[in-house]
């Protein structure tokens, strides 16, 4: 698996945000269809608690390797649920490149590593 932290880790901060499972195991519905929508890579049920989400985020972080920060979107029944997922677009594998001024330089609905790398290289050349 490609690890961009090997190329850019000393100049770029990589942050993953664990949100909802896009294709949870049956009987949990997909948040994108409202019904069961398993895929060949469906390995997990939809966490029902924040602690459950944190546990799955730790598993995924271990699989990712590299020097990456893993954040977990909020999941609390009595207050806000999935504020980051809802605010930045409810998509499963989006990617955002934010420069040091806070400007969004690239927004991918489905992460495009080649576009990200091109933009990172352009920013570093500025």
What pLDDT is recorded for position 89? 77
pTM score, whole prediction = 0.81
What pLDDT is recorded for position 1? 57
What pLDDT is recorded for position 6? 83
The segments of the chain whose pLDDT lies below 70 read: 1-2, 66
The total of other beta-carbon atoms located within 10 Å of residue 1's CB is 6
What pLDDT is recorded for position 93? 84
Sorted by sequence, the CB contacts under 8 Å of residue 85 that are 6+ apart come out as 17, 19, 20, 73
Report d(CA 79, CA 40) in Å as an integer: 33
Contact 33, 39 (CB under 8 A): no
What pLDDT is recorded for position 84? 87
Reference 53, options 41, 63, 61; nearest CA is 61
Reference 70, options 83, 56, 82, 81; nearest CA is 56
What pLDDT is recorded for position 66? 65
Is residue 28 helix, strand or coil? coil
What does the block give as tokens for 48? 């029902």
How many Cα neighbours within 13 Å face the side chain of 16? 24
Q: How far is residue 22 CA from its own chain's centroid?
A: 11
């Amino acid at each position: 698996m490609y690890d961009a932290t090997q190329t850019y880790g000393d100049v770029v901060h990589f942050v993953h945000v664990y949100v909802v499972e896009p294709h949870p195991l049956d009987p949990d519905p997909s948040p994108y269809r409202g019904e069961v929508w398993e895929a060949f890579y469906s390995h997990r049920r939809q966490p029902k608690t924040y602690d459950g989400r944190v546990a799955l985020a730790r598993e995924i972080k271990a699989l990712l390797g590299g020097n990456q920060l893993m954040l977990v979107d909020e999941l609390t029944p009595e207050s806000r649920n999935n504020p980051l997922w809802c605010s930045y677009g409810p998509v499963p594998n989006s990617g955002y490149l934010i420069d040091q001024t806070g400007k969004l330089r690239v927004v991918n609905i489905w992460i495009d590593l080649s576009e990200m790398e091109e933009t990172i290289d352009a920013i570093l050349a500025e």
